[in-house]
Each structure stands twice: as C-alpha cells, then as structure tokens.
Amino acid sequence: MKKSELLEEIKDALQREQPIDESMQLSDSEEWDSLSTLAIISFYDRLFSKTLKFNEINKVKTVSDLVNLASDKLE
Amino acid sequence: MAKFERSDIFLVTGASSGIGRQTALRINELGGSVIATARRAQKLADLKEKATHPDSLFIEEKDLSKDLDDLPKWVLSLSKKYGKLKGVVMAAGVCQIFSLKAISIQKTKELFDINFFSNLALAKGFCDKRVNIGSGSSMVFVSSVGSMVGEAGLSEYSASKGAINSAVRSLAMEHGKLGIRVNSVLPGIVRTEMIEMLGDIYDQKYLDEMSAKYPLGLGNPQDVADPICFLLSDEARWITGQNIVIDGGGSL
C-alpha cells in the first residue's frame, strides 16, 4: 500500500471532512475518540494482518505515529 | 402526519418494488428528496415517472449483494453527490422457502448477505459523520414478523430477519449520542411482488386462509410505508431501538 492510500484510510476511520497530513495532532482532534480508535485497530488488522495493542495506540499523538505503525507494510 | 422538506434526503433500498417502492413514493409525496436504489434500472425509471415530485427523486442502480465491504464508501459517495442524508430505509431483501432437509449453507449465506450483511454495511456507511445530518437522523430496517412467529420452511429467512432485530437494539445504543435513531418494522403478509413470486406456495387459497386469520386482513405496501415515514420523521424523535410489528394483528 502507498502512504497516500493509508492516509485516505485513516481519514475514513476518523470520518473527517477535511484532508489530513502526517503532522496533524490526533490528541487535539475531536475525531480521535474510542470509536475511531477501534476503527483504526480493525483496518490495520484487515489490511495489514497487524494486531495493534492498546498501549501502542495510546502512545499515538499524530497521524505520523499511526503511519509509522505500518511503515514495514508500505511501498 | 409526517412532513419533510426537500432538503431532507433519504436513501431507500429495494425501491423497485413492494414496500421499498411505496416508501420511496410516500417520502417524495410528503416533500422529501429520495435516492431510490435497486438492481433493476427500468423499474427505477418507472418509479421516477410515478413520483409526485420527480425532480427530487433520484435513481441509483446498485446490486447490494456484491462487494459488501465497499458499500459504506458507496453511501459516502451518495452523500457527496446529493448532500447529507437524514435517513435510510433498508427494504431490499429476498425470501427463500426451504425445509431443513433442502437447505444449502451456501445459499443461506447468500440470503444473509442480502437480508442482513448488506444492511449492516449500509448502516455503517450511514453512521459516518460525513454522511448523515447528525441529530434528527434515522435508520429504518425492514424486518419481518416471520422473525417472531414460527413458520415451516422459513428458518433461513426468519433467522436473517431476526439478526436485524437484534442488531437494531445495539446500533441504537451505539449511535443515540450521535443523534441517530435506529428502528425496524416487522410487516406481516403484505401483497407485494415477493409474495406473487412465491405463488406456488403462497397461492390464493393460502392467502385467503391467512386473510381470515388477520383481524385487519392482509396488508398493502402503503400500510407499511406510512409507519416507516413516521419513524423517519422528527415526530418519532424519542423512539429508538424498537422492532415495530405492523401486521394487521396477524401475530396476535
């Protein structure tokens, strides 16, 4: 998967109207709630067969942190 | 009586026939805009011709039994094209009548794909904050009284509708805070194309017998479309998570 495609998936999981970029602060975002966290865990499992742990998700502050969790799966 | 504005946009599946068709026409008659979807393009074109306000009835040909995981994005694309949705009515469905001996698990899975999983995928799409209007949004699933009352040969169909009834309660709990109400209607025997297609089993003799058992007689699509419109409207603002039987008293 390309990084741009992953960013689009993250945008969908956040159900965000505006575009996102890697510098976006998730911890300040109203879209970053428990349901979007579950959506992120679900699509990492579906697309990358990667099981994210809650302590990994809890450390996430920015979109870049989320991208880094799948860095080994990106083209 | 429910009333809608042109800016109130509703997605209706299974809109080419029966309850879906009548619901699409009724919403449109009450002033709302409708995105009517079904597999049969010609039937949808006929529907548009029958609409009270054809300029606010939009048709989208779609086979909901395919690529279920893509359906949420399809719903998102509809909201980008037409505007945010106030409601969705999931009326698409199929009925198979088989004794247990004749059941094929593969065919049963296909029935569940249409009657349950596609609806779940559409619900997922509708609940996206980019798709619905937030407070005042409403989802109505078309279940069946067959999910409550046993009938020989209907084990697969009734189970697929029972799955809807259960999901409705959890979805209502999950989305109430987002302003989305979730309900289902459980019609009894309604004279639709689906019943006509099953004419070998639901022949006139059977329908006459059932009609005699129903205190208010068998139903017509309009008898279900009106309560659906009520559930979509703000008049039903304090109703969620309910499976509402509409069967002329047939299950009493």
On whether any CB of chain A is under 8 Å from the CB of B130, the answer is yes
On whether the CB atoms of residues B103 and B156 are closer than 8 A, the answer is yes
Share of chain B above pLDDT 70, in %: 98
> In the predicted model, is pLDDT for residue A17 greater than 90?
no
pLDDT interval class at A27 (50, 70, 90): confident
Least confident among A67-71, B108-112, B193-197: B193-197
Q: Catalytic: B206?
A: no
pLDDT of residue A7: 93
> In the predicted model, is pLDDT for residue B195 greater than 80?
no
Question: What are the angstrom distances between the C-alpha of A20 and each of A14, A39, A75, B70, B101?
Answer: 10, 17, 20, 22, 54
CATH for B9-188+223-240 (3.40.50.720, 3.90.1150.10, 3.40.1550.10, 3.30.2290.10): 3.40.50.720
pLDDT of residue B17: 92
- Tell me the two tokens of residue B150: 């046993």
- Range among A6-20, B100-114, B142-156, B227-241 rated most confident: B227-241
Cβ–Cβ below 8 Å for B73 and A12: yes
Q: Which residue of A has its CA nearest to B131?
A: A15
Cβ neighbours of B128 in A, within 8 Å: 12, 15
Cβ neighbours of B76 in A, within 8 Å: 12
Q: Which residue has the tokens 């994210």?
A: A52
The pLDDT tens digits for B57-82 are: 999 999 999 999 999 999 999 999 99
Question: What are the angstrom distances between the C-alpha of B25 and each of A19, B15, B176?
Answer: 37, 9, 28
Residue B62: other Cβ atoms inside 10 A: 18
Q: Which residue of A has its CA nearest to B132?
A: A15
pLDDT of residue B14: 95
- Tell me the two tokens of residue A47: 């697309």
Pairing outcome for strands B180-187 and B33-38 = unpaired
> In the predicted model, is pLDDT for residue B167 greater than 80?
yes
Cβ neighbours of A15 in B, within 8 Å: 128-130
What string of DSSP letters covers B7-37? T-EEEEESTTSHHHHHHHHHHHHTT-EEEEE
> In the predicted model, what is the mean pLDDT of residues B133-162?
93
On whether any CB of chain B is under 8 Å from the CB of A42, the answer is no
> In the predicted model, is pLDDT for residue B231 greater than 80?
yes
Most A-contacting residue of B130, B131, B132 (CB-CB within 10 A), to test interface: B130
Radius of gyration of chain B (CA): 17
pLDDT of residue B210: 82
The pLDDT tens digits for B17-28 are: 999 999 999 999
The SS3 call for residue A44 is helix
Cβ–Cβ below 8 Å for A15 and B73: no
The mean pLDDT of chain B is: 93
State how far the Cα of B74 lies from the Cα of B80, in Å rounded to an integer. Answer: 10
> In the predicted model, is pLDDT for residue A28 greater than 90?
no
On whether the CB atoms of residues B239 and B185 are closer than 8 A, the answer is no
pLDDT of residue B136: 97
> In the predicted model, is pLDDT for residue A31 greater than 90?
no
pLDDT of residue B110: 93
> In the predicted model, what is the mean pLDDT of residues B160-185?
96
CATH for A3-73 (3.40.50.2300, 1.10.1200.10, 1.10.4030.10, 3.10.20.30): 1.10.1200.10
Spatial strand order in the sheet of B137-142: B57-61, B33-38, B9-13, B87-90, B137-142, B180-187, B243-246
The pLDDT tens digits for B90-107 are: 999 888 878 888 888 999
Cβ neighbours of A31 in B, within 8 Å: 129
pTM of the model: 0.91
State how far the Cα of A16 lies from the Cα of A36, in Å rounded to an integer. Answer: 10
Å between B106 CA and nearest CA of chain A: 23
Least confident among B40-44, B120-124, B153-157, B223-227: B153-157
Cβ–Cβ below 8 Å for B128 and A15: yes
Q: What is the domain partition of chain B in residue ranges?
A: 9-188+223-240
Q: What is the domain partition of chain A in residue ranges?
A: 3-73
> In the predicted model, what is the mean pLDDT of residues B96-123?
90
- Angle (nearest 5°) at CA B67 between A9 and B192: 130
